[in-house]
Amino acid sequence: EGAKRLVAEFLRDRRAERGEGESEGESRDGVDTLLCHLWLDCGEAKALEALCGEAGNEVCVEAVEGRMREAGRIHALALLRENTGNLLGACELWCGLADGKRTEVELREGSFLSGLAGGEEERQRKLVGEVARAVAAAGKGSACALSWLPR
């Protein structure tokens, strides 16, 4: 796990150095997808959420979705869906977390749902806030139908 963490940190730093411009022959989608797998392997929820929440990430959703579900990283998957334009899919996951249909596994320090002192009500409020933020970011003319409403 230590070696995987070092490789993941190297890749993360390399992505930051490279920025928007890619060198010829480099495949950012492959790097981003590998980085996602490494953060999953290392149990680094905060780093995984940062990668998935980064605008312009090129993680291949199909390549990581199953592992993210198995690992219980539902919020990170919702962020990834949102950043690939699947707003409805992201909202469905956040609503599932809010109403208890889906759960996050062990909430490590720094992850989205960690440290909520208010319990269930605060968790629901935070998740509904994510849905509202995503819908607002979608812009005028976008629509999202939800079957869950807070009490």
For residues 100 and 109, give the distance between their C-alpha atoms in angstroms, rounded to a whole number: 21
pLDDT of 128-144, one tens digit each? 777 777 766 666 555 55
- How do the domains of the chain map onto residue ranges? 2-138
For residues 86 and 137, give the distance between their C-alpha atoms in angstroms, rounded to a whole number: 12
User: pTM for this one?
Assistant: 0.67
Across 75-84, average pLDDT: 92
Residues belonging to the chain:
151
Across 97-120, average pLDDT: 60
For residues 138 and 132, give the distance between their C-alpha atoms in angstroms, rounded to a whole number: 10
Cβ-contact 56, 22 below 8 angstroms: no
pLDDT of 80-103, one tens digit each? 999 888 888 888 888 887 776 666
Nearest alpha carbon to residue 124 among 90, 148, 89? 148
Lowest mean pLDDT: which of 33-42, 93-102, 103-112? 103-112
